[in-house]
Homo-oligomer: A and B are copies of this chain.
Amino acid sequence: MEMPTAENPVVVHNGDCLDLLRRLPDGCVDAVITDPPYSSGGFTRSDKAAPVAEKYQQNGTERQYAGFSGDNRDSRSWSYWCCLWLSECQRIAKPGGYCLLFTDWRQLPATTDAIQGGGWIWRGLVPWDKGLAARAPHKGYFRHQCEYVVWGTNGACDVPPNDDPRGGPWAGCFQVPVVQSDKHHLTGKPTELMRQLVKVVPLGGVVLDPFAGSGTTGAAAVIEGRRAILIEKEPVYVDVTRRRIAKASGAGSLFAGATN
């Protein structure tokens, strides 16, 4: 499979995550950073089978996003499927490499099970606080204004603590509001947030995102001077991603801000 280079730092593959992951060689990426389908909307089979826009967008919303697939598993199948692709990712990651998974409050416990089931060492939890605008408020509720990054490593980092080459420590809670003009997918994340996350790999390092969506992980990697392998099932989002990456690569001035 084609790998990213210094000249062409982002490679976008169109196809099924598990199928394409199996073709990647061992130990070729520094981190897996991704936002898998949560399968958390709806309790019944038909609820889950509904198009994602019906599940996650409120009635009367003008803005339209293309649908995405893979969001219709029940809880046991979801966990099983996550273990499959997470073990594959572990094989592809270097020893000591990182795994960062987005999840919502409802799927958080299943996600911490899945990352460990996939062979990673679970190391912690980082909330992403979207702010007070995030969600329709209901009386008697605490706002659901956070999503969560479940993170772990592929084994331990085997260097003496005194000359640990890793960066950080990084923030343990991100306050980043959602900006609509920066959102190209129903579940798109702010570029600013992803720019902070890709810093877990060193400059020039490689990030793998098997559920790339509109490609924010790849755009952030380019801006921060990292490389990325992206996998996305929906052709329409592969196109969106290629356009965004081309734009981010052209914006040479942004490279100036890249730091370790």
Query: What is the CB-to-nearest-CB distance from A158 to chain B, in angstroms, rounded to a whole number?
Result: 12
Chain B contacts for A126, CB-based, 8 A: 142, 146
Per a CB cutoff under 8 Å, which of B109, B123, B164, B168 touches A108?
B109
Query: What is the CB-to-nearest-CB distance from A82 to chain B, in angstroms, rounded to a whole number?
Result: 14
Per a CB cutoff under 8 Å, which of B127, B139, B172 touches A173?
B127
Asked if A129 contacts B132 (CB within 8 A), the reply is no
Asked if B139 contacts A164 (CB within 8 A), the reply is yes
Asked whether any CB of chain B lies closer than 8 Å to the CB of A87, the reply is no
- In chain A between 93 and 152, which residues have their CB closer than 8 angstroms to a CB of chain B? 105, 108-109, 112-113, 123-127, 129, 132, 134-135, 137-146, 148-149, 151
With A108-B109, A113-B109 already in contact, the answer to whether A142 and B170 are too (CB < 8 A) is yes
Per a CB cutoff under 8 Å, which of B143, B153, B173 touches A171?
B143
Asked whether any CB of chain B lies closer than 8 Å to the CB of A60, the reply is no
Asked whether any CB of chain B lies closer than 8 Å to the CB of A257, the reply is no
Asked whether any CB of chain B lies closer than 8 Å to the CB of A166, the reply is yes
The CA of A132 and the CA of B113, in the complex, are separated in Å by 27
Chain B contacts for A161, CB-based, 8 A: 139
Identify the closest chain B residue to A164 (Cβ).
B139
Asked if B123 contacts A112 (CB within 8 A), the reply is no
With A109-B112, A127-B173, A129-B127 already in contact, the answer to whether A166 and B146 are too (CB < 8 A) is no
Asked whether any CB of chain B lies closer than 8 Å to the CB of A236, the reply is no
Asked whether any CB of chain B lies closer than 8 Å to the CB of A246, the reply is no
Query: What is the CB-to-nearest-CB distance from A150 to chain B, in angstroms, rounded to a whole number?
Result: 9
Query: What is the CB-to-nearest-CB distance from A106 to chain B, in angstroms, rounded to a whole number?
Result: 8
**Most chain B CB inside 10 Å of its own CB: which residue of A125, A168, A173:** A173
Identify the closest chain B residue to A105 (Cβ).
B125
Asked whether any CB of chain B lies closer than 8 Å to the CB of A157, the reply is yes
Asked if A132 contacts B166 (CB within 8 A), the reply is no
- In chain A between 153 and 168, which residues have their CB closer than 8 angstroms to a CB of chain B? 153, 157, 161, 164, 166-168
13 more CB-based (< 8 A) A-B contacts, given A139-B161, A140-B153, A142-B169: A105-B124, A108-B125, A123-B141, A124-B144, A127-B129, A129-B129, A132-B171, A132-B172, A137-B168, A139-B166, A139-B168, A140-B169, A142-B151
